[in-house]
């Protein structure tokens, strides 16, 4: 084992240019920890938010970003059982994944099945568990129901479309026309949100409204999502929903929870990091289910770009424009 390893460090608030490749000393895992040699890491919008220094679950700058990680066990700390050297494992790291080496508590790692590639495993940890838990733990959807997904061509959106199709839900996907072929290939009916108000466009197809809306956009979009629902339907906001500033977020969450109720609908919010910090059990239960779907080829992660593990800056340069569909994965 060399004395040092390389990592992508967030050095200060800013854009992709603040990411720097640095060398850090290799340390031994402490009691209860695993040292993992990283083989793949997912890149997404949450990582981009961290660059601005506004993500509440990130450590103080400087730190190594990297929300979801797959790697091989390189060393096992004292008291750890159930893992062996060379075993492939996955974790929702929240930070630390853009590095050749990662040390974290063993309780955060889950085994990766042999039939699942490093790339695919890294692509599903955040996006597919988020989509699964929104669909099955929050909404509790049933076959024959209807749903609308905003941000439908993004990482969580494409995951939600596949999982809703498996659940037997008729799904509408709000996306720009350039992305309609993508969402259609994933089993959804595309809606061009730029051609009119989303609630009216949805009700043209579903006059009584849909049963569920999964909204990644937030802001003024919340009101339109509520309007697209049938009476008694439910809107689930997820991620950071794009609202800048504290006052904007307060107004958005007020609309989501109170505005929906005043209009005879229900509103809820889902955040995977908050849930995982409060109780890691749901992720430990649900990620193996996602891996099983991968093994059975019932889902196919929509990975559109891959880069070398230490080339995270190039990946981040693609994200702000909104042109990226599906997922970006870094390969070690």
pLDDT tens, 190-238? 999 999 999 999 999 999 999 999 998 777 788 999 999 999 999 999 8
Q: Tell me, what DSSP letter sits at residue 102?
A: E
Beta strands in the chain (DSSP E): 4-10, 19-25, 33-43, 68-76, 88-92, 101-105, 109-111, 146-149, 170-174, 189-191, 210-215, 229-238, 266-270, 303-308, 327-331
Helices (H) and strands (E) in the chain, counts: 12, 15
The mean-pLDDT minimum among 53-62, 133-142, 247-256, 271-280 falls in 247-256
Instruction: Please compute the mean of the pLDDT values over residues 281-301 and round it to a whole number.
Output: 97
pLDDT at 72: 98
Identify the pLDDT of residue 243. Answer: 47
Mean pLDDT, range 143-160, rounded to an integer: 95
Structure-block tokens of residue 56: 């509440």
Q: pTM of the predicted model, to two decimals?
A: 0.93
**Contact residues for 174 (Cβ-Cβ < 8 A; gap 6+):** 148, 149, 150, 151, 152, 191, 193, 198
pLDDT tens for each residue of 96-113: 999 999 999 999 999 999
Summary mean pLDDT of the chain: 92
- pLDDT at position 253 over 50: yes
Q: What ranges make up the beta strands (E) of 65-138?
A: 68-76, 88-92, 101-105, 109-111
* Residue 221: CB atoms within 10 Å: 25
Reading phi first (left if > 0) and then psi (alpha if -120 to 50, else beta), residue 102 is in: beta
Mean pLDDT check: name the lowest of 63-72, 146-155, 316-325: 316-325
Neighbours of 258 (CB within 10 A): 11
**Nearest partner of 277 among 112, 139, 92, judged by Cα:** 92
Determine phi and psi for 102, rounding to 5 degrees: -135, 130
CATH number for the segment(s) 143-270? 3.40.50.720
- Please state the domain extents for the chain: 4-126+278-331, 143-270
Q: Yes or no: is domain 4-126+278-331 CATH 3.40.50.1820?
A: no
Q: What pLDDT was estimated at residue 240?
A: 61
Task: Please name the residue that has the structure tokens 């809606």.
Answer: 191
């Amino acid at each position: 084992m060399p004395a040092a390893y390389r990592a992508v460090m967030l050095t200060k608030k800013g854009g992709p240019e603040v990411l720097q490749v640095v060398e850090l000393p290799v340390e031994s895992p402490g009691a209860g920890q695993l040292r993992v040699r990283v083989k793949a890491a997912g890149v997404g919008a949450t990582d981009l938010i961290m660059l601005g220094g506004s993500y509440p679950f990130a450590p103080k700058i400087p730190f190594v970003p990297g929300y979801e990680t797959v790697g091989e066990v390189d060393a096992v700390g004292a008291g750890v059982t159930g893992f062996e050297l060379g075993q492939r494992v996955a974790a929702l790291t929240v930070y630390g994944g853009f590095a050749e080496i990662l040390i974290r508590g063993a309780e955060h790692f889950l085994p990766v099945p042999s039939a699942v590639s490093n790339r695919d495993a890294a692509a599903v940890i955040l996006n597919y568990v988020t989509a699964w838990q929104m669909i099955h733990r929050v909404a509790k959807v049933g076959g024959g129901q209807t749903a609308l997904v905003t941000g439908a061509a993004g990482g969580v959106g494409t995951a939600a479309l596949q999982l809703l199709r498996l659940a037997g839900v008729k799904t509408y996907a709000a996306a720009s026309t350039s992305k309609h072929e993508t969402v259609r290939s994933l089993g959804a009916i595309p809606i061009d949100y730029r051609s009119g108000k989303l609630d009216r466009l949805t009700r043209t197809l579903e006059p009584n409204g849909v049963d569920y809306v999964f909204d990644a956009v937030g802001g003024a979009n919340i009101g339109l999502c509520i309007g697209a629902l049938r009476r008694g339907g439910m809107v689930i906001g997820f991620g950071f929903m794009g609202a800048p500033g504290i006052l904007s977020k307060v107004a958005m969450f007020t609309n989501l929870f109170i505005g929906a109720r005043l209009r005879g609908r229900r509103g809820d919010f889902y955040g995977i990091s908050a849930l995982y910090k409060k109780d890691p059990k749901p992720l430990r239960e649900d990620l193996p289910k996602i891996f099983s779907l991968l093994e059975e080829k019932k889902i196919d992660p929509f990975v559109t770009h891959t880069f070398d593990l230490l080339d995270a800056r190039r990946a981040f340069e693609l994200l702000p424009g909104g042109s990226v569909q599906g997922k970006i994965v870094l390969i070690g």
